[in-house]
Amino acid sequence: MKVAIVGGTGPEGAGLAVRWALTGHSVVIGSRDAARARATAAELGGRAKSASIIGMTNRDAAAAGEVVVLTLPATSLAAALPEVKDGCRGKVVVSTVVPLTFGGGRLFTPPPAGSAAEEAQRLLGPEAKVVAAFHHIAAHELVSGQPLDCDLLLCGDDPAAKATVAELGQSLGLRVLDVGPLANAGPLEGITALLATINRRYKIKNAGVRITGLLG
Ligand SMILES: NC(=O)c1ccc[n+]([C@@H]2O[C@H](COP(=O)([O-])OP(=O)(O)OC[C@H]3O[C@@H](n4cnc5c(N)ncnc54)[C@H](OP(=O)(O)O)[C@@H]3O)[C@@H](O)[C@H]2O)c1
Protein backbone atom coordinates (compact mmCIF):
# COMPACT_ATOMS: atom_id res chain seq x y z
CA MET A 1 0.00 0.00 0.00
CA LYS A 2 1.18 3.56 -0.58
CA VAL A 3 0.79 5.31 2.77
CA ALA A 4 1.08 9.10 3.08
CA ILE A 5 1.80 10.41 6.56
CA VAL A 6 0.74 14.03 7.10
CA GLY A 7 2.94 15.42 9.88
CA GLY A 8 5.24 12.44 9.32
CA THR A 9 8.35 14.29 10.51
CA GLY A 10 7.29 13.86 14.17
CA PRO A 11 8.06 10.80 16.31
CA GLU A 12 4.72 9.02 15.83
CA GLY A 13 4.65 9.40 12.06
CA ALA A 14 8.31 8.50 11.74
CA GLY A 15 7.86 5.39 13.88
CA LEU A 16 4.92 4.19 11.81
CA ALA A 17 6.78 5.01 8.59
CA VAL A 18 9.75 2.79 9.47
CA ARG A 19 7.52 -0.09 10.61
CA TRP A 20 5.44 0.06 7.43
CA ALA A 21 8.47 0.38 5.17
CA LEU A 22 9.98 -2.68 6.86
CA THR A 23 6.84 -4.66 6.02
CA GLY A 24 6.93 -3.70 2.35
CA HIS A 25 4.60 -0.69 2.21
CA SER A 26 5.64 2.39 0.33
CA VAL A 27 5.63 5.53 2.53
CA VAL A 28 5.40 9.23 1.76
CA ILE A 29 6.42 11.56 4.60
CA GLY A 30 4.51 14.85 4.61
CA SER A 31 5.57 18.11 6.22
CA ARG A 32 4.81 21.82 6.00
CA ASP A 33 8.34 22.06 4.63
CA ALA A 34 9.27 19.87 1.64
CA ALA A 35 13.01 19.98 2.46
CA ARG A 36 12.33 18.76 6.02
CA ALA A 37 10.13 15.98 4.64
CA ARG A 38 12.88 14.87 2.24
CA ALA A 39 15.54 14.94 4.97
CA THR A 40 13.34 12.93 7.35
CA ALA A 41 12.48 10.44 4.60
CA ALA A 42 16.18 9.95 3.81
CA GLU A 43 16.99 9.35 7.48
CA LEU A 44 14.08 6.94 7.98
CA GLY A 45 14.88 5.16 4.74
CA GLY A 46 18.37 4.55 6.14
CA ARG A 47 16.90 3.09 9.33
CA ALA A 48 14.49 0.84 7.43
CA LYS A 49 17.15 0.02 4.82
CA SER A 50 14.49 0.84 2.28
CA ALA A 51 14.25 3.21 -0.62
CA SER A 52 10.50 3.22 -0.34
CA ILE A 53 10.26 6.27 1.93
CA ILE A 54 10.09 9.63 0.19
CA GLY A 55 9.24 13.12 1.43
CA MET A 56 7.14 16.02 0.14
CA THR A 57 4.77 18.71 1.38
CA ASN A 58 1.69 17.58 3.27
CA ARG A 59 -0.47 18.61 0.32
CA ASP A 60 1.53 16.60 -2.22
CA ALA A 61 1.87 13.65 0.15
CA ALA A 62 -1.89 13.43 0.68
CA ALA A 63 -2.44 13.59 -3.07
CA ALA A 64 0.13 10.83 -3.65
CA GLY A 65 -1.04 8.37 -0.97
CA GLU A 66 -3.60 5.63 -1.36
CA VAL A 67 -4.17 5.90 2.39
CA VAL A 68 -3.52 9.13 4.31
CA VAL A 69 -2.44 8.95 7.96
CA LEU A 70 -2.69 12.04 10.16
CA THR A 71 0.06 12.32 12.79
CA LEU A 72 -0.43 15.98 13.65
CA PRO A 73 -0.95 17.72 17.00
CA ALA A 74 -4.69 18.01 17.74
CA THR A 75 -4.38 21.76 18.00
CA SER A 76 -3.09 22.01 14.41
CA LEU A 77 -5.97 20.25 12.62
CA ALA A 78 -7.97 23.39 11.78
CA ALA A 79 -4.91 25.03 10.21
CA ALA A 80 -3.40 21.95 8.55
CA LEU A 81 -6.31 19.95 7.13
CA PRO A 82 -7.80 22.43 4.62
CA GLU A 83 -4.67 22.14 2.47
CA VAL A 84 -4.84 18.32 2.34
CA LYS A 85 -8.62 18.15 1.87
CA ASP A 86 -8.47 17.67 -1.91
CA GLY A 87 -5.83 14.97 -1.62
CA CYS A 88 -7.93 13.07 0.93
CA ARG A 89 -11.10 13.03 -1.17
CA GLY A 90 -12.42 9.48 -1.59
CA LYS A 91 -9.54 8.03 0.46
CA VAL A 92 -9.13 6.21 3.73
CA VAL A 93 -7.81 8.72 6.28
CA VAL A 94 -6.39 7.36 9.53
CA SER A 95 -6.44 9.68 12.52
CA THR A 96 -3.86 8.82 15.18
CA VAL A 97 -4.45 12.21 16.77
CA VAL A 98 -5.01 12.44 20.52
CA PRO A 99 -6.20 15.72 22.05
CA LEU A 100 -4.07 15.82 25.20
CA THR A 101 -3.14 18.97 27.09
CA PHE A 102 -0.19 18.61 29.44
CA GLY A 103 0.30 20.85 32.44
CA GLY A 104 -3.36 21.77 32.95
CA GLY A 105 -6.03 20.29 35.19
CA ARG A 106 -7.44 17.98 32.51
CA LEU A 107 -5.26 15.76 30.35
CA PHE A 108 -7.87 14.66 27.78
CA THR A 109 -9.21 17.77 26.08
CA PRO A 110 -11.38 16.77 23.10
CA PRO A 111 -12.70 19.39 20.69
CA PRO A 112 -16.42 20.26 20.51
CA ALA A 113 -16.87 17.59 17.78
CA GLY A 114 -16.25 14.98 20.52
CA SER A 115 -12.89 13.68 19.29
CA ALA A 116 -9.98 14.68 17.10
CA ALA A 117 -11.09 12.08 14.53
CA GLU A 118 -14.57 13.60 14.26
CA GLU A 119 -12.98 17.04 14.02
CA ALA A 120 -10.83 15.71 11.15
CA GLN A 121 -13.93 14.26 9.45
CA ARG A 122 -15.68 17.63 9.76
CA LEU A 123 -12.70 19.50 8.30
CA LEU A 124 -12.05 17.01 5.47
CA GLY A 125 -15.71 16.62 4.51
CA PRO A 126 -17.84 13.52 3.98
CA GLU A 127 -15.79 12.21 1.05
CA ALA A 128 -12.87 11.34 3.33
CA LYS A 129 -13.32 7.96 5.02
CA VAL A 130 -11.92 8.69 8.45
CA VAL A 131 -10.87 5.81 10.68
CA ALA A 132 -9.48 6.41 14.19
CA ALA A 133 -6.59 4.08 15.10
CA PHE A 134 -3.02 3.70 16.46
CA HIS A 135 -3.57 6.04 19.46
CA HIS A 136 -2.27 3.52 21.97
CA ILE A 137 1.08 2.73 20.37
CA ALA A 138 3.74 5.15 21.56
CA ALA A 139 6.43 6.41 19.23
CA HIS A 140 9.22 4.93 21.38
CA GLU A 141 7.60 1.49 21.06
CA LEU A 142 7.50 1.89 17.30
CA VAL A 143 11.21 2.73 17.13
CA SER A 144 12.19 -0.04 19.56
CA GLY A 145 12.07 -2.64 16.81
CA GLN A 146 10.49 -5.06 19.34
CA PRO A 147 7.19 -6.84 18.61
CA LEU A 148 4.25 -4.58 19.52
CA ASP A 149 2.62 -6.06 22.63
CA CYS A 150 -0.94 -4.71 22.38
CA ASP A 151 -4.18 -4.83 20.40
CA LEU A 152 -5.08 -2.28 17.75
CA LEU A 153 -8.50 -0.77 18.44
CA LEU A 154 -10.05 1.12 15.55
CA CYS A 155 -13.37 2.79 14.81
CA GLY A 156 -14.99 4.44 11.82
CA ASP A 157 -18.18 4.60 9.79
CA ASP A 158 -17.00 2.92 6.57
CA PRO A 159 -16.55 -0.87 6.80
CA ALA A 160 -14.23 -1.09 3.77
CA ALA A 161 -12.05 1.73 5.15
CA LYS A 162 -11.81 -0.10 8.49
CA ALA A 163 -10.79 -3.28 6.65
CA THR A 164 -7.97 -1.36 4.92
CA VAL A 165 -6.71 0.04 8.23
CA ALA A 166 -7.00 -3.41 9.80
CA GLU A 167 -4.69 -4.68 7.05
CA LEU A 168 -2.16 -1.95 7.89
CA GLY A 169 -2.34 -2.96 11.57
CA GLN A 170 -2.05 -6.67 10.86
CA SER A 171 1.02 -5.99 8.73
CA LEU A 172 2.64 -4.73 11.97
CA GLY A 173 1.74 -7.98 13.74
CA LEU A 174 -1.17 -6.49 15.69
CA ARG A 175 -4.47 -8.16 16.55
CA VAL A 176 -7.12 -5.71 15.32
CA LEU A 177 -10.46 -5.07 17.01
CA ASP A 178 -13.24 -3.03 15.42
CA VAL A 179 -14.76 -0.95 18.22
CA GLY A 180 -17.60 0.56 16.23
CA PRO A 181 -18.52 3.86 14.58
CA LEU A 182 -16.48 7.06 14.51
CA ALA A 183 -18.74 8.33 17.32
CA ASN A 184 -16.65 6.02 19.57
CA ALA A 185 -13.44 7.89 18.73
CA GLY A 186 -13.69 10.07 21.87
CA PRO A 187 -13.51 7.12 24.30
CA LEU A 188 -10.84 5.52 22.10
CA GLU A 189 -8.62 8.61 22.14
CA GLY A 190 -9.30 9.08 25.86
CA ILE A 191 -7.68 5.72 26.64
CA THR A 192 -4.35 7.31 25.71
CA ALA A 193 -4.78 9.74 28.60
CA LEU A 194 -5.17 6.73 30.91
CA LEU A 195 -2.10 5.01 29.47
CA ALA A 196 -0.03 8.19 29.86
CA THR A 197 -1.21 8.48 33.48
CA ILE A 198 -0.41 4.81 34.19
CA ASN A 199 3.06 5.26 32.67
CA ARG A 200 3.72 8.24 34.94
CA ARG A 201 2.18 6.70 38.06
CA TYR A 202 4.05 3.37 37.76
CA LYS A 203 7.24 4.80 36.23
CA ILE A 204 6.97 2.71 33.08
CA LYS A 205 6.93 3.68 29.42
CA ASN A 206 4.92 1.03 27.70
CA ALA A 207 1.43 0.65 29.18
CA GLY A 208 -0.77 -0.79 26.45
CA VAL A 209 -4.21 -2.16 25.72
CA ARG A 210 -5.17 -5.80 25.29
CA ILE A 211 -8.81 -6.89 25.27
CA THR A 212 -9.71 -10.10 27.11
CA GLY A 213 -12.64 -12.44 26.55
CA LEU A 214 -12.16 -12.94 22.83
CA LEU A 215 -11.41 -16.24 21.20
CA GLY A 216 -8.29 -16.24 19.04
N1 LIG B 1 4.22 10.52 20.17
C2 LIG B 1 3.53 9.44 20.58
O3 LIG B 1 4.04 8.55 21.27
C4 LIG B 1 2.08 9.30 20.16
C5 LIG B 1 1.38 8.12 20.46
C6 LIG B 1 0.07 7.97 20.04
C7 LIG B 1 -0.57 9.02 19.38
N8 LIG B 1 0.12 10.16 19.12
C9 LIG B 1 -0.56 11.25 18.43
O10 LIG B 1 0.02 11.33 17.15
C11 LIG B 1 0.09 12.72 16.77
C12 LIG B 1 1.55 13.02 16.41
O13 LIG B 1 2.35 12.84 17.53
P14 LIG B 1 3.87 13.35 17.51
O15 LIG B 1 4.40 13.15 18.87
O16 LIG B 1 4.57 12.80 16.36
O17 LIG B 1 3.57 14.93 17.27
P18 LIG B 1 4.49 16.20 16.99
O19 LIG B 1 5.91 15.79 16.93
O20 LIG B 1 4.12 17.24 17.99
O21 LIG B 1 3.96 16.70 15.58
C22 LIG B 1 4.10 15.91 14.41
C23 LIG B 1 4.38 16.83 13.23
O24 LIG B 1 3.27 17.71 13.03
C25 LIG B 1 3.74 18.89 12.39
N26 LIG B 1 3.18 20.06 13.10
C27 LIG B 1 3.48 20.47 14.35
N28 LIG B 1 2.78 21.59 14.66
C29 LIG B 1 2.04 21.87 13.55
C30 LIG B 1 1.13 22.91 13.24
N31 LIG B 1 0.83 23.88 14.12
N32 LIG B 1 0.55 22.91 12.01
C33 LIG B 1 0.85 21.92 11.12
N34 LIG B 1 1.72 20.92 11.34
C35 LIG B 1 2.31 20.90 12.56
C36 LIG B 1 5.26 18.91 12.49
O37 LIG B 1 5.76 18.61 11.17
P38 LIG B 1 6.42 19.73 10.23
O39 LIG B 1 7.00 20.79 11.14
O40 LIG B 1 7.47 18.96 9.51
O41 LIG B 1 5.31 20.21 9.37
C42 LIG B 1 5.57 17.76 13.43
O43 LIG B 1 6.79 17.09 13.12
C44 LIG B 1 -0.43 13.54 17.94
O45 LIG B 1 -1.78 13.90 17.74
C46 LIG B 1 -0.32 12.59 19.11
O47 LIG B 1 -1.32 12.82 20.10
C48 LIG B 1 1.42 10.32 19.49
**Do the Cβ atoms of 190 and 164 come closer than 8 Å?**
no
Mean pLDDT score, 186-211? 96
Ligand 1: nearest atom to the Cα of 58: 41
Residue 215's contacts (CB-CB under 8 Å, 6 or more residues apart) are: none
Query: Average pLDDT, stretch 84-94?
Result: 98
Residue 83 has pLDDT above 70, yes or no: yes
pLDDT value for 186: 98
User: Do the domain assignments include residue 83?
Assistant: yes
The CATH number of whichever domain residue 175 belongs to comes to 3.40.50.720
216 has a pLDDT exceeding 70: no
**Whether pLDDT at 60 is above 80:** yes
pLDDT in tens, 137-165: 999 999 988 999 999 999 999 999 999 99
Binding pocket residue ranges, ligand 1, CB within 6 Å = 7, 9-13, 31-33, 36, 71-74, 76, 79-80, 96-98, 100, 135, 138-139
Distance 189 CA to ligand 1 centre (A): 15
- Among 72, 76, 200, the mutation site with the greatest number of ligand 1 atoms within 8 A of its Cβ is 72
Mean pLDDT of all residues in the chain? Answer: 96
pTM more than 0.95: yes
Q: What is the pLDDT of residue 213?
A: 95
The residue whose CA is least distant from atom 25 of ligand 1 is 7
Q: Considering the domain boundaries, does residue 125 fall inside one?
A: yes
Q: Is residue 9 part of a domain?
A: yes
Q: How far apart are CA 133 and CA 188, in angstroms?
A: 8
Q: What is the rounded average pLDDT of the residues 89-102?
A: 98
Task: Check whether 61 has a pLDDT greater than 80.
Answer: yes
Residue whose CA lies nearest to ligand 1 atom number 29: 76
Would 211 be classed as within a structural domain? no
Residue 161 covered by a domain? yes
**pLDDT band at residue 50, thresholds of 50, 70 and 90?**
confident
- CB contact burial 163-199 (16+ within 10 A = b; e otherwise): ebbbebbeebebbbbbbbebebbbbbbbbbbebbeee
Residue 215 resides in a domain? no
Residue 208 covered by a domain: no
**Averaged over 174-201, what is the pLDDT?**
97
Number of domains within the chain: 1
Q: Strands 151-156 and 175-178: what pairing? A: parallel
73 in a domain, yes or no? yes
With a pLDDT cut of 70, the percent of the chain lying above it is 100
pLDDT by residue (tens digit) across 2-23?
999 999 999 999 999 999 999 9
Domain range for residue 93? 2-201
For residue 215, the model assigns a pLDDT of: 73
Q: Give the ligand 1 atom nearest the CA of 9.
A: 43
Ligand 1, pocket-test mutation among 5, 9, 12, most atoms within 8 A of CB: 12
Residue 51 has pLDDT above 80, yes or no: no
In whole angstroms, what is the distance from residue 156 CA to residue 203 CA? 33
CA-CA-CA-CA dihedral for 204, 98, 9, 141, to nearest 10 = 30
Of 189 and 50, more confident: 189
